[in-house]
Amino acid sequence: MVLMNNVSMVYENSGMVAANGLDFEINEGEFVFLVGPSGSGKTTIIKLLTGEVTATDGEVYVNNFDLRSIKARKLPMLRRTLGVIFQDFRLIEDKSVYENVAFAMRVVGASNKEIAKRVPYVLELVGLEGREKRLPQELSGGEQQRVAIARAIVNSPSLIIADEPTGNLDPVKSLELMLLLEKINELGTTVLVVTHEKELVNSFSKRVIALNQGSIISDGMDGYYSYGIHE
Amino acid sequence: MGITVMGFMNKIGYLFKEGFRSIAIHGFMSFASVTIIIACLVIMGSFSLLAVNIDAVIDKLESENEMLAFVDETYTQNQAMALEGELTAVPNVSKVKFITREEAMSEFAKDYENNSLFNEIEASVFRDRYVIYLDDISLMADTKVQLEQVKGIADVSAQLDISKGFVTTRNIVGAVSLVLIVILFVVSVFIMSNTVKLTTFGRREEIAIMKMVGATNSFIRTPFIIEGLTLGVIGSGLALALEWGIYTLITDKIMTSIAGSYVSVLSFNTLALPLALVYMGVGIVVGAFGGTIAIRNYLKV
């Protein structure tokens, strides 16, 4: 599923070391929190997993794609196996809720019939039935993030990467969203959630990989605070 | 999820729909793009039409620039007339016209009827001659040499300086037109590309989202190209109509003024088809290139 083997990443322009000898593996069906303070390397890991940047050293495998040697024209194929959720939702403003979700299916060449069958099902799964025709700005933050989740799962990806998905939500909505991701995980999708919200992480009994200054400082089921990381 | 035939057709339909939708959604930028295409094409087209008209005038003047081949004095008129076939066969000669020494004298007398010095002049002073018209005036010197080699031709008179002047003028007009048209074309592509860039700048987030959900570059690029092409075609159609109006207005003014007695202009109808093809071609190329260049940077994610 995901394998990082002794991965280092140094940004060419700034010379900043964003990842330093990262070693971890995420197996199929796992739910993993990736935590750490700002600048710890969380965003770099996401970029490494989605092929936005290439590791300076080491091996990165995602869904059987070798990201050290992947060709640019193969990147769309990799990304179709992923569902990515962002803190700022990243919805297309002038498309309706339905079209925002359907769009991800059009990209992979699904027919209108397939889209008409799948999109309502996914919108119902994330609790957005009846909101199909709304534009993103007509929805609350929590609802917008649900649209983003619907878009992420509509093509049945094997891995969902959520980058600070609750960053713009209040605690109640954050918990609801995390429960939704847990439900998706229970349906068989591997989920990697990048966050620095300690209370939220500690309220779930999940594997937590903690980062600091580009290195993994802990990897286990014991929760976030037990390692004494302070922002 | 594999791509089925139906899926592929839906995808093509979707890409076209997106291209057209984008024109409507980004109304002001679409209007700006079409206006810029019209402005560039009308400037470029007007200059081209001017160059074509100058070329036509030069053509006409060239065709009137003749050579004279004088027949040997010892030849009888019948012998002189027999040379016509041989002269016509000389390369670059378009047509020849035989003039007897009597006709030449009467022409000369007409030109100098007020000059008493030439009153008593006789036809025997003149030679039978041929007026020679050429296909290509730039080869006048070579043709002169070849005509001189025809047995029975004593001398050939050619205004080589004038022909050189015509050739030089034509070359200068041609070169200046070409340079200006190329410059205007590059400027058009540049302006068009920047206009589409402004449109795409506002849509870079949308492009980034497309990349993140696994869209290929061609999937992202196609609606932009369709948008650029459509705007290019609309712009070129409107530019053609505007050019027709401007050209007709100006040429009507010229033909009804005193200048109309000296120059003739080509009618728009004879130029409409080539101009329409050039406009359409430029509109399509500028639109498609503009669209492609504009989003190039955003695809590198």
Three-state SS annotation for B207-251:
HHHHHHCCCCHHHHHHHHHHHHHHHHHHHHHHHHHHHHHHHHHHH
How far is the alpha carbon of B300 from chain A, nearest alpha carbon, in Å? 9
Whole-angstrom distance, CA of residue A216 vs CA of residue A208 = 11
Sorted by sequence, the CB contacts under 8 Å of residue A220 that are 6+ apart come out as A207, A208
Q: What is the pLDDT of residue A230?
A: 45
B125 versus B41: which is more confidently predicted?
Answer: B41
| Mean model confidence pLDDT for chain B | 83
CA-closest candidate to residue B211, choices A119, A2, A78, A122? A78
Q: What is the pLDDT of residue B260?
A: 66
**B155 pLDDT higher than 60:** yes
Whole-angstrom distance, CA of residue B283 vs CA of residue B298 = 24
**B88 pLDDT higher than 70:** yes
Q: What is the pLDDT of residue B191?
A: 73
Amino acid in the structure at residue B226? I
Name which of B15, B29, B209 to mutate to probe chain A: the one with the most chain A Cβ atoms within 10 A of its Cβ.
B209
Structure tokens at B85: 């076939």
B4 and A109: CB-CB below 8 Å?
yes
For chain A, the domains span: 90-156
Q: What is the pLDDT of residue B283?
A: 84
How far is the alpha carbon of B12 from chain A, nearest alpha carbon, in Å? 10
How far is the alpha carbon of B283 from chain A, nearest alpha carbon, in Å? 28
Whole-angstrom distance, CA of residue A97 vs CA of residue A134 = 6
A149: left (phi over 0), alpha (psi -120 to 50) or beta: alpha
pTM of the model: 0.67
Q: What is the pLDDT of residue B200?
A: 72
By C-alpha distance, the chain B residue nearest A46 is B212
Residue B75 has φ and ψ, to the nearest 5°, of -80, 140
Whole-angstrom distance, CA of residue B107 vs CA of residue B229 = 62
Name which of B3, B25, B213 to mutate to probe chain A: the one with the most chain A Cβ atoms within 10 A of its Cβ.
B213
Of B213, B216, B301, nearest to A52 by CB-CB distance is B301
The domains of chain B, with CATH numbers, are 5-61+165-299 (no CATH), 66-158 (3.30.70.3040)
A106 and B10: CB-CB below 8 Å?
yes
Sheet holding B153-157, edge to edge: B93-99, B129-134, B67-71, B153-157
pLDDT tens string A207-224: 999 999 999 998 987 666
Q: Which helix (H) or strand (E) holds B11?
A: helix B5-25
By C-alpha distance, the chain A residue nearest B8 is A109
Most distant CA pair in chain B: distance in Å?
105
A113 and B6: CB-CB below 8 Å?
yes
Return the minimum-mean-pLDDT range out of A19-33, A53-67, B171-185, B266-280.
Answer: B171-185
Helix spans in B112-265 (H): 140-148, 160-201, 204-212, 217-256
Return the minimum-mean-pLDDT range out of B103-112, B197-206, B280-289.
Answer: B197-206
The alpha carbon of residue A109 and the mean position of all alpha carbons in its chain are separated, in whole angstroms, by 23
Of A84, A92, A106, nearest to B11 by CB-CB distance is A106
Q: Which residues of B touch A (CB under 8 A)?
A: 1-4, 6-8, 10-11, 14, 25, 205-206, 208-216, 219, 301
Name which of A103, A113, A151, A161 to mutate to probe chain B: the one with the most chain B Cβ atoms within 10 A of its Cβ.
A103
**A149 pLDDT higher than 60:** yes
Percentage of chain A with pLDDT > 90? 69
Structure tokens at A114: 């397939």
Of B11, B205, B210, nearest to A109 by CB-CB distance is B11
Sorted by sequence, the CB contacts under 8 Å of residue A148 that are 6+ apart come out as A85, A86, A89, A90, A91, A165
Whole-angstrom distance, CA of residue B37 vs CA of residue B189 = 9
Name which of A86, A89, A94 to mutate to probe chain B: the one with the most chain B Cβ atoms within 10 A of its Cβ.
A94
Structure tokens at B235: 């712009």
List of E strands, chain A: 2-10, 17-26, 31-35, 57-62, 65-66, 82-85, 159-163, 190-195, 207-212, 215-220
Q: What is the pLDDT of residue B183?
A: 85
How far is the alpha carbon of A161 from chain B, nearest alpha carbon, in Å? 11
pLDDT tens string B229-240: 888 899 999 999
pLDDT tens string A15-53: 889 999 999 999 999 999 999 888 899 999 999 999 999
Q: What is the pLDDT of residue A225?
A: 54
Residue B133, beta-bridge partner list: B95
Sorted by sequence, the CB contacts under 8 Å of residue A150 that are 6+ apart come out as A101, A119, A122, A123, A125, A126, A128
Residue B169 has φ and ψ, to the nearest 5°, of -60, -45
How far is the alpha carbon of A152 from chain B, nearest alpha carbon, in Å? 8
Q: What is the pLDDT of residue A231?
A: 43
pLDDT tens string A115-135: 999 999 999 999 999 999 999
Return the minimum-mean-pLDDT range out of B65-74, B194-203, B280-289.
Answer: B194-203
How far is the alpha carbon of B40 from chain A, nearest alpha carbon, in Å? 32
Percentage of chain A with pLDDT > 70? 96
pLDDT band at A60 (very low <50, low <70, confident <90, very high): very high
Residues of B in contact with A50 (CB under 8 A): 212
Q: How many CB pairs under 8 A join A and B?
A: 67
pLDDT band at B111 (very low <50, low <70, confident <90, very high): confident
Q: What is the pLDDT of residue B225?
A: 85
Instruction: List C-alpha distances in Å: B114 to B5, B109, B118, B122, B146.
Output: 91, 9, 9, 17, 38
pLDDT band at A76 (very low <50, low <70, confident <90, very high): very high
Whole-angstrom distance, CA of residue A227 vs CA of residue A211 = 11
A111 versus B111: which is more confidently predicted?
Answer: A111
Of A76, A90, A91, nearest to B215 by CB-CB distance is A76
pLDDT band at A228 (very low <50, low <70, confident <90, very high): low
Residues of B in contact with A76 (CB under 8 A): 211, 214-216
**B258 pLDDT higher than 50:** yes
Whole-angstrom distance, CA of residue A15 vs CA of residue B52 = 60
Quick check: B49 and B41 in contact, CB under 8 A? no
Q: Measured between alpha carbons, how far apart are the two ends of chain A, in Å?
A: 30
Span B287-296, average pLDDT: 75
CA-closest candidate to residue B216, choices A102, A68, A101, A108? A108
Q: What is the pLDDT of residue B290?
A: 73
